[in-house]
Structure 1
Amino acid sequence: MSQTPATAAVRVRRAELSDLDDLVALEQATFDSDRISRAQFRRHLDSDSARVLVASANHRRFLGTAMVFFRKSSRKARLYSIASLPEARGKGVGTALIEAAEVAARQRRCQSLRLEVRVDNESAIRLYERLGYHRAGAVKKGFYEDGADALVYEKTLD
C-alpha cells in the first residue's frame, strides 16, 4: 500500500528549469486570474530577487509551489504566490512550502514574511493564522484582477 502525502514527509526544494511545464500547468489549473506566465516563471527561476520552491512527497515529483520575492533595500520578504494540486490540499504541502519560504527569508536576513490573501479564501487564512501570521495593515481594495479584496498578513521571523 502506498503512502499518501498526508503520511509521507513533504520535501521542498528550489525549482529548476525542468519544473517549468509543471509550474505553468499548476498555475493554470489553480488560478482563474492573476496568473504567473511561463515567461515570468522562467525569469524568476534565474532571479536573485526571487525563490521558486517546489514540494514533493512519496515519489510525486510535483505537488505544489511557492514563490518568494526579496528586495535589497527591505528586511521584509513577500510570499507572492502559493499553490498546490487539489489532491495535495490539506496534507501538509502548504505548510511545508510556507516553512521553506520562511527559511529562505531568514537566509536572506529578512525579519518578516508578508503576504496577501483573498478575503474569501478561508482555508488559506486559517493556514496562515495557524502558522503564526497576523493581519497587518488595511484591506487592499480591488487587489486582484477580478476586483476581489486582499487581506495582508505578516509573520515576524526569529
Structure 2
Amino acid sequence: MTEPLIRPATQADIGALTALEASFPEEDRFDRRTWRRLLAGHASVLVCEAPRDGLLAAAVMLYRKGARVARLYSITVAPEARGMGLARALMAACEADATERGARAVRLEVRASNSSATRLYEAGGYRVIATLESYYPDGEAALRMEKYLDAPSNGAP
C-alpha cells in the first residue's frame, strides 16, 4: 500500500464516505444527506486515502461559532485498514485543525463497551470526564473524554 494522504473531504467523496460506514450499526451511520450537510456546515471532515486503495478512513470534527471546545464526532477506519495507525493520524490532523480554528480542547463521546477506541483516545492524551448513561439509541452508556490542546506558538494564551 502506498503512503496514505490526509485531506479535507469534498462533495465528490460522499459515496465513498457512505460506503466506509457500512460496517456500523444502521442507527450510527450518516446518510448521503447528512454528509452533504456536514460538508456544507460548521464541520471539518478529513479523509485518509491511498492512491490505489481509495478512501480508507474519515473523521468528523464539529465546531460551534465562538466555542473554545471542538467535538470529535466520529472516526471511521475501513476494516481492511485497521491497525495501520490511520485513526491516530486522523486524530492528530483533527487536533491540528481544531487548534487552527482557535479551539483549546477537544471532546468526544465513545461507547462504554468500545475498549479499543477508548485505549486509542487515552494513548492520545484524552481522559474520561463523565459517563453518560443511556446515551446511544440502544441504551448503551458513553464515556465523555476530553483533551486540552497546546496553546498556539504565537504566544496567545
Map 1:2-151 onto structure 2 (within 5 A).
3=1, 9-47=3-41, 49-57=42-50, 59-136=52-129, 138-151=130-143
Provide TM-score, normalisation by structure 1. Answer: 0.89
Displacement of 1:58: 5.6
Displacement of 1:43: 1.0
Provide TM-score, normalisation by structure 2. Answer: 0.90
- 1:33–1:145 CA contact under 8 A, matched in 2: yes
Distance 1:10 1:110 in 2: 26
Report 1 or 2 for greater relative contact order, CA contacts < 8 Å, sequence distance ≥ 6: 1
| CA gap 1:10/1:132 in 2 versus in 1, 3 angstroms | farther
Gaps of 5+ in 2: 151-157
Greater CA deviation, 29-38 or 69-78? Answer: 29-38
Identity in percent: 43
Displacement of 1:96: 1.0
Moved over 6 A (4+): none
RMSD over aligned CA atoms reads 1.3
